[in-house]
Structure 1
Amino acid sequence: MYQLTHIISYLFEIYSFLVIARVLMSWVPDMERTGFGQWLVRLTEPYLAIFRRFIPPFGMIDISPIVALLALQLIERGLMTVLGSFF
């Protein structure tokens, strides 16, 4: 059980870093056109699109990734609580 929760926790952490990298990438012109940029968009856009439907950008500022990261933390904590109660 200990190893399973660590693996899940690491996966959530990695995905959080990918979302942060996507946000940072948006500050660099044409970065999304690179191979790495396209890969990063394919991994993060399905998740971020959920939040963009409900939280429109405020001018040039998009706060949906912040909400997405907070939701990701809540999902992780909830999953860890559920797994902890089973084992």
Structure 2
Amino acid sequence: MFIAEHFMIAVARLVDYVLWAYMILIIARVVVSWVSADRYNPIVRFISRTTEPVLGPIRRRLPDLGGLDISPMVVILGIYFLREFVVSSLLDMALALR
């Protein structure tokens, strides 16, 4: 069970790092939307292309609040939930294999 335990821990850490990095991208997207950044900048385009597939469907389902976009907040709360629930569950399952 040594290998399975360490594999589960590695998967949990990888999921945690990916979720954390995506949350940073969403925060960067919010900051970019506040300043008048060049839409054709490669960094801005990368941030937009990686976050829009998640933010777009959520934005369409939320009510219109008159120019206030709360979809990043909803996604960040979802990521926080996933980090707390999924990653913690994976780590607990890995420790139970001891």
TM bracket (short chain)? 0.7 to 0.9
The counterpart of 1:83, out of the listed 86, 90, 93, is 90
CA contact (8 A) 2:39 2:45 kept: yes
Q: Which has the higher contact order (CA 8 A, sep 6+)?
A: 2
The runs of 5 or more residues in structure 2 that have no matched partner are 1-7
Q: Give RMSD over aligned pairs.
A: 1.8
The residue identity in structure 2 corresponding to 1:62 is D
Larger-gyration structure (1/2):
2
Is it true that 1:26 corresponds to 2:33 in the alignment? Answer: yes
- Length, aligned pairs only: 87
The runs of 5 or more residues in structure 1 that have no matched partner are none
Is it true that 1:74 corresponds to 2:76 in the alignment? Answer: no
What pairs with 1:1-87 in structure 2 (closer than 5 Å)?
A: 1-84=8-91, 86-87=93-94
CA contact (8 A) 2:13 2:87 kept: no
Task: Report the TM-score when normalising by structure 2.
Answer: 0.74
Task: Report the TM-score when normalising by structure 1.
Answer: 0.82
